[in-house]
Amino acid sequence: MSASQTSDVPTLLVKIFGKDRPGITAGLFDTLAAYSVDVVDIEQVVTRGRIVLCALVTQPPAGMEGDLRATVHSWAESIKMQAEIISGKGDNRPRGLGRSLVTVLGHPLTSEATASVAARITKAGGNIDRIFRLAKYPVTAVEFAVSGVETEALRTALVTDAARFRIDIAVVAAGLYRRAQRLVVMDVDSTLIQDEVIELFAAHAGCEDQVAEVTAAAMRGELDFEQSLHARVALLEGLDASVIDKVRSEVRLTPGARTLIRTLKRLGYQVGVVSGGFTQVTDDLKERLGLDFAQANTLEIVDGKLTGRVTGEIVDRAGKARLLRRFAAEAGVPLSQTVAIGDGANDLDMLNAAGLGVAFNAKPVVREAAHTAVNVPFLDTVLYLLGITREEVEAADTIAGD
């Protein structure tokens, strides 16, 4: 039957609950099959070994409903389950316009925070249609499917809870769009890796404190990035090029970085990095991690020494957004289906240009401007914002033989 045909017809909601075991769903529908009912909807949830199975079916032929009820209750008792059958009309009420997916990340996720999120969704005019756990570690990640309120309005309504309860909340439009995102582009320093590459070079040149001071000011948006880049690189003049291999060995990937990239690649995503750092490091990361795209600034080397200058196109704030668009074009992916991840002020243009901009352990100015923020130290939690569950990550690893 079509939705219009079932809107007013009598229906029965059959609910089975108890200890989960194999064969419950098949057993229920085998029992119902004898009464010539059609299935309108099915919902099943298993939590800590307890199952709730709901089946919405059409009313059986005249005179058979009493027998159906008795038979279902008898079958449920035979397998030590409980049954409840409720008469009504039609299907679920139509969902309101505006469909969003709200992902909540907590470490831990408290009941107080969950209650507040649910209340704010209701106050904003939304209805929670479904709740689903995406992950239980390294953080608890729960997804709410919400209808009846526009995505931007819902995102605004939930901002307060994220700060108040120290949880991360991502609100994205529902639909095929979310699963169709096929390009992820990341910043490198303090995002893909835990380090600032210029500071690793500076440690070998003995000017670590001076470089760190300029870097911090630039990332806060207090200095023009290109000017600060030239000022910092100038401090490296005369450094032997052999230090490049040492810096590469010192780079520390952010926890979860390999899992994020490996999982995205197995799911068919293309992955790239853009950096205000240096190609001498990003090219190595591209090869090690199997990245599709990588672009950064290039340290000039003459006679085996760093000259204190960079060559070629400067990758600054505007340059990162420009490269995101270039990578998307080369990948054949609409800009609306891209994801950008970054932490600093020079990532803002890229985050705003992407279909989904994620501020990762970012400075306050970046968190406020991005579509969503992740404030736990695990880069692979970004997978949950894309609707990818922890079980899917582990299954992909098993299939690949990891």
Q: Which residues are catalytic?
A: 187, 189
**Per-residue CA distances from 254 to 25, 141, 148, 196, 250 (Å):** 43, 20, 38, 12, 13
**CA pair distance 137, 393, nearest whole angstrom:** 12
The 8 Å CB, 24+ separation contacts for 364-373 are 365/220, 365/221, 366/342, 371/155, 371/170, 371/172, 372/155, 372/168, 372/169, 372/170, 372/171, 372/172, 373/162, 373/168
- The radius of gyration of the chain from alpha carbons, rounded to an integer in Å, stands at 27
Helix/strand/coil percent split, the chain, to 5: 45, 30, 30
Bridge partners of residue 51, in order along the sequence: 18, 46
- Tokens for 231, please give them: 């000022």
- Residue pair 254/192 in contact (Cβ under 8 Å)? The answer is yes
Helices (H), 354-402: 364-369, 382-385, 390-400
| DSSP 8-state class, residue 175 | S
132, with CB counted inside 10 A (0-12, 13-18, 19+), is: middle
Q: Which of 194-208 are b and which e, b meaning 16 or more Cβ less than 10 Å from the residue's Cβ?
A: ebbbbbbbbbbbebb
Continuous segment of H or E residues that includes residue 340: strand 338-342
